[in-house]
Every structure is written in C-alpha cells, then in structure tokens.
C-alpha cells in the first residue's frame, strides 16, 4: 500500500494499492520499446527533452515543495531548495552530456579505435522518502541522458509527491513510476538491466543480493554517520555554526549530515559551549512557518527509533547536554539533542542516527580524531576544521570516506561525484562519474 499522510495532522493525503506484477510487466514492456526509440536519438535531442522537463518542473516548484513539506516534514524553505537543486541538476546534465558522452577516439595500431558510451537498457530505482524529488532525479537524469529508460519504485509514504512528479514527465522520456509491492522486487530486478538504490544498509544488502544473483549493475547509497572534526586551531565560532546547521537541517533526516562531532580536548569546552548556544537558537514548530528551524520527523516509528537510540546511550553512560525527550502535542517532533560521554557501548557510536541528535566525541589530538572518525561502519563524508590547510589535506587522505570537506560541512555538488565506501555503499552519482555508472563503456576497433 502506498499512503501519504500529513506530518502534523496525520490526514491521509494520497492512497493507492500496489500494482500486480502482471500490470508492472506490461508497463515495463512498453517502457523498453520507448527506451529503444529514445536511445536512438542524438544525445543533443535527449538533452533537449530533459531540459524541457526541467522547465516544467520549475513552473511547479512551489506546489511540489509544499507537497514535500506536508509529506516528509522538512521545513518549507528546505523543500524549496530541494526543488531548485533538482532543476539545476537537469540543466547541468542537459548542457554537459553531449560533451561527456561524445565518442572518444584512441590512437592504436588500428585504422580507427574508439570508446563509446551506450545505455544499459532499463534502470530500476528503489528510492527513499527524505528527498522524494531530488533522490529520484539524482540517479535518473544522468541515466536518461545516456539513453537508458528509468523505472522508479518510490517510498510508500511519499506517493503523492511521486505521482505529481511523474505527471510532469510526459511521453517523450522513458521514465515511469513502479507501484510495486516489496515482495516483487527481486523479479523486477531480474527483468531490468541495472539497479539504483538509496536507503538503509539492511535493505541495501538484500537488494544487492538480488542484483548479484542476477548479475545486474548496481549503485548503492546507504547513508552515513559523517564525522565533523574540530582541531585546536579551528575557527570555533564558525565550526559551531556549521556543525549545528549540518546536524539539525532537515530535522536530522539526511544521510550526509554531520552526525559525530569529534573535538580535540584542547578546545572541547569552548567549542561545546558555542555549539550548545547555536543549538538553543533552533525553533521547533510547524515546518510551513518561515520562522521554524527544526521540523518534525517523518513518521512516529522513526521518532521512536531515534529516542530509543538516545535512551540506550544514556543507559550506557552518555550524558544529555540538550534535548533528549519526547515532546507533547501533534506531529512527530523531536528536540535538538546533544549527547556527550558517548562510548562504543552506545548504539549511537556505531549506528546512523536519522534524526536531530548530535554525538560529541573527544579526541586527544588530530591523529586520534581521525582514528575515531574511521572507527565506524559508514564512510560517506567527513569534515575537518583547521587553519592549517596543508595538515588538513594530509589527514583528509587518511579518512575512509567518499568525500572530505575542509572548513565546510559535508554536502553535495552537481560537479563532484557523490557516494561512499564501507557500509555507505558503492558507485557514484552526480558529475561525469555518475553519468558513466549506467553505461556500457564499449570498445570499437577497426583494422
């Protein structure tokens, strides 16, 4: 069942049953036929069709942002930023894909040898709820530029905004939703040509197992527990502001947020006071209101999971410096929470916390900070704050992550690859590297 509810009132906004597999199979057959026609178009024509879709999306920006706010619970301005970035992504690839997908002639003993980038066919995506427009388009736009068809199984709890997004796609792009039941996913993976998944490690392992069984190319983005390292010579006020913004934006429901704040002991007391001061400015309220800076969580069970992790930490010796309680009233709100004295006995030391909870860890020095950062199953991103940039680059190379940001919180940039290592998954999205994930890099040799 696909069912969207209002995050404050719990009013049902959209509801529909899953399609039968027979209905999906018919839609998939039609999509494969359309993909063949689309792939035969010049890349410039495919890019132009995507650009037209981007223009339609821009017109509906306010309407879709409001839907995301109501269904997911993030602040309205954060949802508007998601739409803006999604439109920018479409125009980025529409502009660059003709150049990046151009044939590459390589000098060999042949009279002509080339490398060409050809589509794999149909890419199946299983997508999460937290960025219901951006996450879909982050994988799909580059895959479509390359000539693939894309079929998307959305998270059940954001079905309304997914349906509205696909209403804008039109008939020119081989890009459709898949209202599939969970139990049909392995067959869908077997019947398509590649898999993109963003979500939990547990589900990622299951889907990657299906894809491995059927030998399908896979890109997984499985979340993170990003380290935010503060060295003794850092600009502490700026670091505190950035750490607060990164940890608590989107109500903490972002894989790429700063989740473990690792501070060297020499400046720990001063930094923690600055961080708590920034945290106290946050205002928890209706996400539609412009003054709100901390929105509710997406669902009741997700809030219960976050609070359970906090209680476990306290039971294992951690100290709550701020927040840490279940508020009364409607909506699945959880206060900004700061935990200190966290040890490896606490679940939050090892697990991803998908909510507004900051974990403070103290390091003896920079080497110890890097060791603490790496002592975690995840490897998506990390930040290092220091005025010694040369030293920062040296330590950045020791961090087991897909990205390191120096004197800035982690984020994503259209021009740079996005993805992780270890339990954060494999493969990359965005940039030219994301464009090449779902292509057959094919060699041609002529005597």
Q: 197 - beta bridge partners?
A: 126, 220
Check whether domain 2-222+424-446 has CATH 3.50.50.60, yes or no: no
| DSSP helix/strand/coil, 125 | strand
CA distance 103 to 105: 6
Distance of CA 220 to the CA centre of its chain: 10
**Which residue among the candidates 79, 150, 255, 346 is catalytic per the annotation?**
255
pLDDT value at position 262? 98
**Which residue among the candidates 221, 278, 429, 437 is catalytic per the annotation?**
221
CA distance 317 to 322: 15
pLDDT value at position 64? 98
Query: What is the enclosing helix (H) or strand (E) of 38?
Result: helix 21-39
Q: Where are the domains of the chain?
A: 2-222+424-446, 226-406
**Tokens matching residue 211:** 């894809």
Q: Is 221 a catalytic residue?
A: yes
Q: Give which of 29, 62, 49 is closest to 94, Cα–Cα.
A: 49
Distances (CA, A) of 355 to 73, 197, 209, 251: 12, 21, 28, 6
Token pair 């068809």 in the structure block, residue: 149
Neighbouring C-beta atoms of residue 29, cutoff 10 Å: 11
Q: Is 79 a catalytic residue?
A: no
Angle between the N-to-C axes of helices 61-72 and 43-59, in degrees from 0 to 180, rounded to the nearest 10: 70
pLDDT value at position 278? 98
pTM: 0.96
E strand residue ranges, 59-121: 104-105, 112-119
Burial class (CB in 10 A: 0-12, 13-18, 19+), 433: middle
CATH architecture of 226-406: 3-Layer(aba) Sandwich (3.40)
Q: Given the DSSP bridges, would you call strands 2-5 and 12-16 parallel, antiparallel or unpaired? A: antiparallel
Average pLDDT, consecutive stretches of 10 residues, N- to C-terminus, the chain (447 residues): 95 96 98 98 98 98 98 97 98 96 96 97 98 98 98 97 97 97 97 98 97 98 97 98 98 97 98 98 97 97 98 98 95 97 98 98 98 98 97 97 98 97 98 97 97
Distance of CA 311 to the CA centre of its chain: 27
Distances (CA, A) of 414 to 102, 171, 275, 409, 439: 20, 26, 29, 16, 19
Write out the DSSP string of 379-398. ESEEEEE-S-HHHHHHHHTT
- The DSSP call for residue 284 is B
Phi and psi of 228, rounded to 5°? -125, 100
CA max distance for the chain: 76
CA distance 49 to 51: 5
Asked if 103 and 115 touch (Cβ cutoff 8 Å), the reply is yes
**Tokens matching residue 368:** 């110890």
């Amino acid at each position: 069942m696909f069912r969207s509810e209002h995050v404050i009132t719990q009013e049902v906004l959209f509801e529909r049953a899953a399609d039968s597999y027979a209905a999906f199979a018919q839609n998939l057959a039609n999509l494969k036929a359309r993909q063949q026609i689309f792939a035969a178009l010049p890349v410039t024509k495919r890019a132009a069709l995507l650009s037209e879709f981007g223009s339609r999306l821009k017109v509906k920006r306010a309407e879709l942002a409001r839907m995301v706010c109501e269904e997911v619970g993030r602040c309205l301005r954060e949802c508007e930023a998601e739409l803006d970035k999604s439109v920018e992504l479409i125009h980025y690839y529409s502009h660059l894909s003709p150049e990046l997908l151009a044939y590459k002639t390589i000098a060999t003993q042949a009279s002509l040898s080339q490398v060409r980038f050809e589509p794999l066919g149909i890419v199946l995506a299983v997508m999460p709820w937290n960025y219901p427009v951006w996450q879909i388009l982050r994988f799909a736009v580059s895959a479509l530029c390359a000539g693939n068809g894309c079929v998307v199984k959305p998270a059940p709890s954001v079905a309304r905004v997914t349906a509205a997004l696909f209403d804008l796609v039109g008939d020119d792009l081989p890009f459709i939703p898949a209202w599939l039941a969970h139990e049909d996913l392995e067959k869908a993976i077997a019947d398509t040509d590649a898999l993109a998944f963003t979500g939990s490690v547990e589900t990622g392992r299951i889907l990657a197992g299906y894809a491995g069984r059927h030998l399908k190319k896979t890109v997984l983005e499985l979340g993170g527990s990003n380290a935010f390292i503060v060295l003794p010579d850092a600009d502490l006020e700026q670091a505190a502001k950035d750490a607060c913004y990164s940890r608590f934006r989107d109500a903490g429901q972002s894989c790429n947020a700063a989740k473990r704040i690792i501070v060297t002991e020499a400046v720990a007391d001063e930094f923690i006071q600055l961080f708590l001061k920034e945290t106290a400015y946050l205002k928890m309220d209706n996400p539609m209101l412009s003054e709100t800076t901390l929105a509710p969580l997406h669902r009741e069970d997700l809030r219960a999971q976050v609070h359970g992790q906090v209680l476990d930490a306290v039971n294992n010796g951690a100290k709550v410096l701020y927040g840490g309680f279940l508020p009364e009233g409607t909506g699945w709100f959880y206060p900004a929470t700061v935990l200190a004295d966290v040890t490896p006995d606490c679940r939050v030391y090892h697990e991803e916390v998908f909510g507004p909870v900051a974990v403070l860890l103290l390091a003896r020095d920079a080497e110890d900070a890097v060791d603490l950062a790496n002592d975690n199953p995840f490897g998506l991103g990390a930040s290092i704050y220091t005025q010694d940039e040369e030293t920062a680059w040296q330590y950045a190379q020791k961090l087991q992550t897909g990205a390191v940001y120096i004197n800035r919180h982690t984020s994503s940039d259209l021009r740079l690859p996005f993805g992780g290592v270890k339990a954060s998954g494999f493969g990359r999205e965005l940039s030219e590297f994301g464009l090449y994930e779902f292509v057959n890099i094919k060699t041609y040799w002529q005597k």
